[in-house]
Amino acid sequence: MFDKILIANRGEIACRIARTCRGLGIRTVAVYSEADADAAHLAACDEAWLLGPAPARESYLNTERILDVARRSGAQAIHPGYGFLSENPDFARACEAAGIAFIGPPAAAIEAMGSKRRAKALLAEAGVPLVPGYHGDDQSEAALLSAAEETGYPLLIKASAGGGGKGMRRVDRAEEFASALAAAKREAASAFGDDSVLLERYLLEPRHIEIQVFADSHGKVVHLHERDCSVQRRHQKVLEEAPAPGLTPALREAMGTAAVRAASAIGYVGAGTVEFIAEPDGRFYFMEMNTRLQVEHPVTEMITGLDLVEWQLRVAAGEQLPRAQNEIPLHGHAFEARLYAEDPHKDFLPSSGRILHLRLPEPELGLRIDAGVRAGEQVSVHYDPMLAKLIVHGPDRSAALQRLRRALDALQIVGPATNLSFLRRLAAHPAFAAGGVSTDFIERYRDALIPARQPVSARMIALAALAELLRLREIAARQAAVSGDPYSPWHAADGWRLNATGSHSLGFRDGDEDFEVSVGFQDDTYLLDLPEGQLQVSGSMGRDGSLLAVLGDQQLRATVVRDRDHLTVLCAAEACTLELRDPYGAGLEHGPDSGSLTAPMPGTVIAVHVSEGEHVSEAQPLLVLEAMKMEYTIRAPMNGVVEAVHYRAGDQVAEGVELLKVEAEAL
Ligand code: MV4
């Protein structure tokens, strides 16, 4: 077995591989790009080596750099994870040439499966069922046209070098074929540098069922049952499960046997996945073979109790497969949900930004979290937007689904937009609970899965208002504590004003809608005027943003995350982000009118918006201080000129020090 391996990947898969290595006493070498200098996978490994700039081609795809680090770190093997170089035969060869074991299949097997036409030709000989169609070498228009006539319509033209849905074109009528073929070949040539295509009868309502296979270097091949990956969006898997709902033991056996035959036919070694497309009547056909460990491998690990990365390491080290076919159990049911930094309301556009808050559900029996990020990290635009995977297991599908729902409800993340609410709706959808999974599931139920934005609920507005009021009270108390006159009524955060009622107004913005919440003060509670009527609220804020609130006669626990003027409130599975407007009303964020603006509490200056001599207007943000995991904006108390700026971003400041000085403009 290896003593030290290099993990040529990042994110959750790098952390996951490192976890198994730790358990086996194998030391690990992490590699990272400049954008990943504080990434989670570095802390998961024993060593960390910089590859280069953020772009993948200058870092995680840089074969020379990776091999150079492997040599200099003394790594005996390289685990490519998935994506990046995991299915690059040249990289596999370069590893072998450098005397470093490639933890994956032989380069020849990667190459064979990289061409759909070659793969189908090989597997047809092995008796693996193929979709009726054509995958011959004669790529002339005449040959393809006659093959199309034989296949029948509708049919699919697929690029031989394509995969994962790339390079597919549906043709419904004969008269469209010639132009569709020309377009498909042009696209294939430009996308893959290979314009060869194959034809397949178009299967309606297909299911995507894949079989996990494993082969060692001694000719042994086994399968570890199937996974259903039908719930996809534009060929990106979102939710996977094992075993496949409704698959009969006979069909499972037939698909498993066919998959093992496919792996044997190409002299496969290592972890692989044979993808089938299945029709409702149970007929199934080979689609493609993935020559790497897949993102969704944990659901197979949950139903078999096996560690596939450990198997990869043992097989790459020359060991025999740890189990025979009849020693691979199938227990219960598992799901995997993929948490992506992407915005379902913007057609799942990837999002980026700092993770301001991340609360992952506590791992427990039947719940595993494979995360590649931590709170405070930047989600980069350079790499795949997957942040984490939630994997659950239960004795049967409905128990596992119940666990998935609870885990998704318990997960909290604030910062970049994510698909979390979408996943919650997906897991809660009755059609999904009924097992009605097919590849068009998301399109079919799109309106329920991605509903129009709802207005913020009264409960969330009340929690946001309470959080803001408690914050203002905290700041006022601190400013009172550092002032010469701590008991001055001007420091009281109770809305007290000379000749005015004890009231106050908080301004919020929800999207593009502005609204106010009038606040009355009553002893140690607040009276909020909400659209539904008055509500008495009180509570306390923890240093970690936890809010214990009493709304009327109900006690609630919530989490509050503040990012400058944006306030995010999370309560149970509800979340909302509101922008705070009109801080004048607060009146408490400003320092005393002298213009000397002091730090209300110890913290870190994270932004300075002005410089000396600059004209500023009342309430203009001047500086942002971070303290207690929250951010405080110091604003101009009046129109004036910045006379002094004493600190810069990154400076630590003590409570009460003068941060800036603003000279009031002569009236
Ligand atoms: C098909 C098909 C229907 N008929 N082939 C899409 C991904 C690529 N691996 C193959 N895919 C398909 N091939 C025939 N002959 C429908 C799809 C397909 C699909 C397959 C599995 C999972 C999700 C899918 C989403 C759209 C289309």
Q: Which residues of 198-216 are buried (b: 16+ CB within 10 A; e: fewer)?
A: bbbebbeebbbbbbbbbbb
In contact, 14 and 81? CB cutoff 8 Å:
yes
Strands (E), 542-610: 546-551, 554-563, 566-571, 574-581, 596-598, 603-608
Q: Which residues form ligand 1's pocket by a CB distance below 6 Å?
A: 131, 156, 164-165, 200-203, 206, 208, 230, 232, 235, 277, 287-288, 439
Ligand 1 atom closest to 275 (CA): 9
What residue's CA is closest to ligand 1, atom 10? Answer: 165
Q: What is the pLDDT of residue 489?
A: 58
Q: By 3-state DSSP, what share of the chain in percent is helix, strand and coil, each rounded to 5?
A: 30, 35, 35
559 contact partners, CB below 8 Å, separation of at least 6: 357, 359, 412, 545, 546, 547, 569, 570, 571
Q: From ligand 1's centre to the CA of 180, what distance in Å?
A: 18
Q: What is the pLDDT of residues 245-269, one digit of tens each?
A: 999 999 999 999 999 999 999 999 9
Secondary structure (3-state) at 494: coil
Q: What is the pLDDT of residues 145-185, one digit of tens each?
A: 999 999 999 999 999 998 878 889 999 999 999 999 999 99
Q: From ligand 1's centre to the CA of 165, what distance in Å?
A: 6
* DSSP conformation class of 177: H
- Residue showing tokens 């400003």: 590
Q: Determine the residue of 135, 153, 168, 238 to mutate for testing ligand 1's pocket, defined as the one with the most ligand atoms within 8 A of the Cβ atom.
A: 168
Q: What is the pLDDT of residues 190-224, one digit of tens each?
A: 999 999 999 999 998 888 999 999 999 999 999 99
In contact, 448 and 425? CB cutoff 8 Å:
yes
Q: What is the pLDDT of residues 6-54, one digit of tens each?
A: 999 999 999 999 999 999 999 999 999 999 999 999 999 999 999 999 9
In contact, 122 and 115? CB cutoff 8 Å:
no
Element (H, E) at 17: helix 11-24
Q: What is the pLDDT of residue 500?
A: 40
Q: What is the pLDDT of residue 666?
A: 60
Q: Does domain 132-201 have CATH number 3.40.50.300?
A: no
H helix and E strand count, the chain: 17, 39
Q: Which of 580, 585, 583, 584 is nearest to 566 (CA)?
A: 580
Q: From ligand 1's centre to the CA of 231, what distance in Å?
A: 12
CB atoms within 10 A of CB 553: 6
Q: Which of 6, 86, 7, 12 is nearest to 379 (CA)?
A: 12
Q: What is the pLDDT of residue 507?
A: 92
Q: From ligand 1's centre to the CA of 212, what distance in Å?
A: 19
Angle between the N-to-C axes of helices 107-114 and 116-125, in degrees from 0 to 180, rounded to the nearest 10: 100
In contact, 356 and 373? CB cutoff 8 Å:
no
Burial classification of residue 343, based on how many CB atoms lie within 10 Å of its CB (0-12 exposed, 13-18 middle, 19 or more buried)? middle
> Rounded distance, CA 175 to CA 163, Å?
26
CATH architecture of 596-664: Beta Barrel (2.40)
Q: Which of 27, 32, 77 is nearest to 53 (CA)?
A: 32
Burial classification of residue 488, based on how many CB atoms lie within 10 Å of its CB (0-12 exposed, 13-18 middle, 19 or more buried)? exposed
Which class is 4-103 in CATH? alpha beta
* DSSP conformation class of 497: B
Residue 582 in tokens: 């009109």
Q: Identity (one letter) of the amino acid at 9? A: N
Alpha carbons within 13 angstroms on the beta-carbon side of residue 545 total 22
CB atoms within 10 A of CB 609: 16
Element (H, E) at 287: strand 284-290
Q: Which superfamily does CATH assign the domain made up of 207-448 to?
A: ATP-grasp fold, B domain (3.30.470.20)
Angle between the N-to-C axes of helices 397-410 and 420-428, in degrees from 0 to 180, rounded to the nearest 10: 150
Q: What is the pLDDT of residue 589?
A: 40
The residues that bridge with 183 in the sheet, in sequence order, are none
Query: What one-character-per-residue DSSP string does 31-93 give?
Result: EEEGGGTT-HHHHHSSEEEEEESSSGGGTTT-HHHHHHHHHHHT-SEEE--SSTTTT-HHHHH
Q: Chunked in runs of 10, what are the mean pLDDT values of the chain (667 residues)? A: 98 98 98 96 98 97 98 98 97 98 97 92 92 96 97 96 87 96 94 95 91 98 96 90 94 96 95 94 93 98 98 98 98 98 92 94 94 93 95 98 97 96 96 88 93 92 95 80 60 50 79 91 90 94 94 96 92 93 45 65 86 86 77 81 90 85 76
Domain ranges of the chain: 4-103, 132-201, 207-448, 458-581, 596-664
Angle between the N-to-C axes of helices 308-316 and 11-24, in degrees from 0 to 180, rounded to the nearest 10: 70
Q: Does domain 458-581 have CATH number 3.30.700.30?
A: yes
Angle between the N-to-C axes of helices 116-125 and 249-265, in degrees from 0 to 180, rounded to the nearest 10: 110
Vertex 303 angle, CA 104 and 385, to 5° = 60
Asked if domains 132-201 and 596-664 share a fold, the reply is no
Q: From ligand 1's centre to the CA of 61, what distance in Å?
A: 28
Q: Determine the residue of 166, 171, 208 to mutate for testing ligand 1's pocket, defined as the one with the most ligand atoms within 8 A of the Cβ atom.
A: 208
Query: What one-character-per-residue DSSP string does 353-422 give?
Result: EE--EEEPPPPBTTEEEEE---TTPEEPSSS--EEEEEEEEESSHHHHHHHHHHHHHH-EEESS--SHHH
> Rounded distance, CA 544 to CA 557, Å?
13
Which residues form the catalytic set?
A: 292
